[in-house]
Structure 1
Amino acid sequence: MAETTIIKETNQLFPVFLKLEQLRLLIIGGGNVGAEKLTAVLTNSPATRIKIVALQVNNVVRAIAERHDNIIVVEEAYAAKHLDNIDIVIVAVNEKSLGAQIKADAQKRGLLVNVADTPELCDFYLGSIVKKGNLKVAVSTNGKSPTIAKRIKETLNEVLPDELDEVLDNMEAIRKKMNGNFAKKVQELNHITKSLSLQENVEEKNKGERHWRRIATWCLFAFFFMFVGYFILSYLPLNSLVDNIKTGISGLDSKFYWLILAGFFAQLVDGALGMGYGVVSTTVLMSLGVNLSAISGSIHTAEMFSSGASGYSHYKFGNVNKKLFKALLIPGIIGAVVGAYLLSRFGDQYANYIRPLIASYTMLLGIRILIIAFRKGQKKPQKVKRVGWLAGAGGFLDSFGGGGWGPLVTSTLISKGRSPRFVIGSVSITEFFVTLASALTFFAMIGVSHWQVILGLIIGGLIGAPIAARLVGKLPMKTMFIAVGVMVVIWSLRILLKAVGVF
């Protein structure tokens, strides 16, 4: 019996990246599908000249067209004349017969056509696009499953780091400095990038990273329990510890659960936006009638624990840029220690002059971030110079000025067009070490008081930290820019109004 050879179908599409901004595009259809195609084009090639033809255009398409001078909307039924002076066509209509007619008309003119949800009429497909700066990856399933393409896109967006754009810039600089013919340049570049294609190196790197992640996790927990144990045994003798715990539980204030809620919301805002812990917790504690003298010390002590949980959660969810973290860490700690030392020596009289100056600066940053959020097109990330000085100033302000690490450092980095997700994650994990350095200095001088307020804030913060870290990876980019900008403006206004005696 003769064997039957089965030839497996393969994807024979030839991938091409078009300079669409040099072409004239016609989109036929003004409904939800048309809006989806229009958004995809503008996301990748915002300067493309686009003509939209449809009997009726929905509000989404109309709003997009009003924001772009390169889009023309023609509200009338399709006719062959609309193909005049057009290079490429996208059909986004529900009527199959109309799609077939447009395809036939375009074919006579030698135009390439994409008909939504009708693969047999398509000359090309719109793949799912992964964009990391200058790097673009297009995913195609040969028209079989756009949903699978979308899921692969989401996976690649998570896996591919934003730093790849910096790698591309560095490789371009290296290529320009190379001498010799084309073949020699290719050979040298291949040698430089060889490690990127070696699976064993990737696996070894991941193995090493997991190893150090486990060490960091256990060290964090060890430090946490060591510090808690030292704190408890320093103030409560061991022989009366059980009695004190029972007395403490029975003596809990009726507002204790509100204190937990205050810690939860403060950390939810701070972990998701990279700032706001002090603003939110202070507002809630004041509304609960907590003594003003107790608020500052309690918040600073509790923030050490909540920032540790927040930083660890951001690290686990992949929100941390390690290069940025290393650049912020040491200068931030030094700034915090110097600020705490000077505050202990000279009091807070000078802090009252520094805070309004910083608040004026951050107010401008907050407004700039809001402008970026509503700007047409995405702001190209700029290289932030003197990150160490920025971290040192943030650490100093946090100790000496009573807060401001997040508003100063986070807002400055985001205003340069950096990804909010990785800025917030990196700043949050650094904040733990900055707050720890500051808190240890204050502990040595003034001790700890108001333990119920501190405990309530800690419990609420530990609950809110992982939720906030998860939100950072899920919130849309524009939403994060707006939220950060609003929070910076609120923080700045609060400081400025307090300086003139309103609060």
Structure 2
Amino acid sequence: MTTVTVKEQNELFPVFLKLEHLHVLVVGGGNVGLEKLTALLQNSPRTTIKVVATQFNEAVLQLAQEHNTISLVLKPFSPEDVAGADVVIVAVNDREASREISLEAKRQGKLVNVADTPDLCDFYLSSVVRKGNLKIAISTNGKSPTIAKRLKETFNEAVPEELDEVLDNMQSIRNRLAGDFSAKVTQLNDITKVLAVNEKPNPVYQRKERPWKKIASGAALAFFFMILGRFVFSAITFDEVSTFVGNIEPIFYWMVFAGFLAQMVDGALGMGYGVTSTTVLLSLGVNLPAISGSIHTAEIFSSGISGFSHYKFGNVNRKLFKVLLVPGVIGAIVGAWLLAKVGEEYANYVRPILAAYTLVLGARIIYTAFKKNKERKKIKYAGVLAGAGGFLDSFGGGGWGPLVTSTLIAKGRTPRFVIGTVSITEFFVTFASALTFFTMLGLSHLEVIVGLVIGGMLAAPIAAKLAGRLPMKTMFIAVGSLVIIWSLRILLKAVGLF
């Protein structure tokens, strides 16, 4: 006799409720109740919610103050509390009490969810991926909320923010289509077929096209850096190079270390080249104009390669690029001009201010490591942000990546497109800053520039290999701690305590 094994399946029926039209009862005002309240408000912020508990923690009280749709009732649960509720969520840390509340709610015909007790639930609260109007709910049939959470993180990265714009465009197209329902469905299917069907190109054509595409890209990149190298090194005479090679001082090796460390950080996190190298060079006593000019000269090469790579792999949001480009370049030019005018005369005043600035950036990086995912918010002043980033990048020798990248990601933008777009924009910002320094100060401090370039070249392949392999949280904490330590050292030195 053959035994047939039936594979278990998820038989839950997925629905999306308009909770703003319903009343929800939450029993419990502790950490579990807070978690349920937060989930409700993130997805349906206009929901009418009554919370019954014998005590409320501070976070629940704060939510009630921020949302006038939440009412708190300080008392033990009683059957009368269920009256008027459409949905009941039990969030108390007592299994027997949870069972009794669940049975009472079901007796009154209400749908019930009991935290961490699947057998008492009529429905589960799913992990939700939200991209504007698009919402994806994830269920593991109550078996593993942790897996649902990890899948949510994966989908958050994989689904581009631009898909929300696609939905808006599709709605406009749908409203303009003529014909009956069947005709509209056919036309919309034809339009969206590209999202579901990957048509394979002709293999013969593909074999012919790919080598020429690589050759064209390589030639364009080589020509670009040939022109760039000619521009940069036309300001350096052979005698200067000979003198430099014959008189290498120990500080040169510190420059190599600074370039190596900065590129490691930037390659792994997509930010931090200027901040890291600036804090190292400030610690070594290099003056501010030399720091900013040298960093931007060296960074032209790394940002050029990085930006080209991101563009080639489709990581650039063109709309965001256009918003960031002009303000970023203008800010960089203004910052470089002002620093060249101020010069070393005010360096002793600016250095501790800059150290305080990098200290704040270090704290911000660490905060980012522990910050929970937030829903996407519209960025109203991206141009102003780019201008400030460009200015601080030139005037302080760093800040474009940490300021612009971290702000855009904190607003809910997809990291892949943020890092790619900010990286390609950084080349133009860096080039504008370096060109301003060349025009006003000429090219000096060769040992700083060469050291940063060599260090960056050594670190680039290592950083590329590590990127995506080390835990991002660990990297953020390590970088933030390093920047804070260096910044504190400069501040303590400024007040005579170091």
TM-score normalised over the length of structure 2: 0.67
Partner of 1:24 in structure 2? 23
Q: What is the total number of aligned residue pairs between the two structures?
A: 441
- What SS does structure 1 have at the residue aligned with 2:136? strand
- What SS does structure 2 have at the residue aligned with 1:253? helix
Change (3 A) 1:293 1:229: closer
| Paired residues of 1:383 and 1:416 also in contact (CA < 8 A) | no
Change (3 A) 1:330 1:61: closer
1-structure distance, mates of 2:57, 2:435: 59
| Paired residues of 1:25 and 1:88 also in contact (CA < 8 A) | yes
2-structure distance, mates of 1:60, 1:471: 35
1:77-476 map, 5 Å = 77-200=76-199, 247=246, 249=248, 251-253=249-251, 256-257=253-254, 260-261=257-258, 264=261, 268=265, 277=274, 285-286=281-282, 288-308=284-304, 311=307, 320-324=315-319, 327=322, 380-381=377-378, 406=400, 410=404, 414=408, 419=413, 421=415, 422-436=417-431, 439=434, 448-458=443-453
| Paired residues of 1:139 and 1:153 also in contact (CA < 8 A) | yes
| Paired residues of 1:129 and 1:136 also in contact (CA < 8 A) | yes
Task: Kindly state the Cα deviation for residue 297 of structure 1 after the two structures are TM-superposed.
Answer: 2.3
Partner of 2:494 in structure 1? none
Q: What do residues 58-113 of structure 1 show as CA deviations (whole Å, max 9, x unaligned)?
A: 34433433433322233332221221221101112232222221121111211100
| Paired residues of 1:294 and 1:450 also in contact (CA < 8 A) | yes
2-structure distance, mates of 1:213, 1:41: 51
Task: Kindly state the Cα deviation for residue 138 of structure 1 after the two structures are TM-superposed.
Answer: 0.6
Q: What do residues 369-411 of structure 1 show as CA deviations (whole Å, max 9, x unaligned)?
A: x9xx99xx957426889x7x998x7999799989899499949
Greater CA drift, 103-112 or 403-412: 403-412
Change (3 A) 1:416 1:184: farther
Task: Kindly state the Cα deviation for residue 15 of structure 1 after the two structures are TM-superposed.
Answer: 0.7
Q: Partner amino acid for 1:26?
A: L
Q: What do residues 185-225 of structure 1 show as CA deviations (whole Å, max 9, x unaligned)?
A: 222111111111114469x9xx99x9999889977996899
1-structure distance, mates of 2:212, 2:78: 64
Change (3 A) 1:70 1:219: farther
1-structure distance, mates of 2:327, 2:441: 22
Task: Kindly state the Cα deviation for residue 420 of structure 1 after the two structures are TM-superposed.
Answer: 7.4
| Paired residues of 1:395 and 1:405 also in contact (CA < 8 A) | yes
2-structure distance, mates of 1:407, 1:280: 11
Partner of 1:362 in structure 2? none
Change (3 A) 1:438 1:129: same
2-structure distance, mates of 1:75, 1:315: 57
Q: What do residues 305-351 of structure 1 show as CA deviations (whole Å, max 9, x unaligned)?
A: 453476579779x9944324663698689x67x969x97xxx969xx
Partner of 1:490 in structure 2? none
| Paired residues of 1:87 and 1:111 also in contact (CA < 8 A) | yes
Q: Partner amino acid for 1:147?
A: T
Q: Partner amino acid for 1:289?
A: G
RMSD of aligned C-alpha atoms? 5.7
Partner of 2:32 in structure 1? 33
2-structure distance, mates of 1:72, 1:467: 52
| Paired residues of 1:53 and 1:74 also in contact (CA < 8 A) | yes
2-structure distance, mates of 1:384, 1:472: 33
Partner of 1:355 in structure 2? none
Task: Kindly state the Cα deviation for residue 236 of structure 1 after the two structures are TM-superposed.
Answer: 8.2
Change (3 A) 1:428 1:83: same
Change (3 A) 1:330 1:411: closer
| Paired residues of 2:64 and 2:72 also in contact (CA < 8 A) | yes
Q: What do residues 419-441 of structure 1 show as CA deviations (whole Å, max 9, x unaligned)?
A: 27344541222212442466468
What is the percent sequence identity of the aligned residues? 46
Change (3 A) 1:302 1:246: closer
2-structure distance, mates of 1:42, 1:474: 28
2-structure distance, mates of 1:228, 1:248: 27
- What SS does structure 1 have at the residue aligned with 2:251? coil
| Paired residues of 1:52 and 1:71 also in contact (CA < 8 A) | yes
- What SS does structure 1 have at the residue aligned with 2:26? strand
Greater CA drift, 419-428 or 466-475: 466-475
Change (3 A) 1:441 1:303: same
Q: What do residues 6-34 of structure 1 show as CA deviations (whole Å, max 9, x unaligned)?
A: 43332221110011122111122233322
2-structure distance, mates of 1:135, 1:125: 20
- What SS does structure 2 have at the residue aligned with 1:99? helix
Task: Kindly state the Cα deviation for residue 36 of structure 1 after the two structures are TM-superposed.
Answer: 1.9
2-structure distance, mates of 1:235, 1:273: 31
2-structure distance, mates of 1:395, 1:220: 29
| Paired residues of 1:324 and 1:426 also in contact (CA < 8 A) | no
| Paired residues of 1:329 and 1:433 also in contact (CA < 8 A) | no
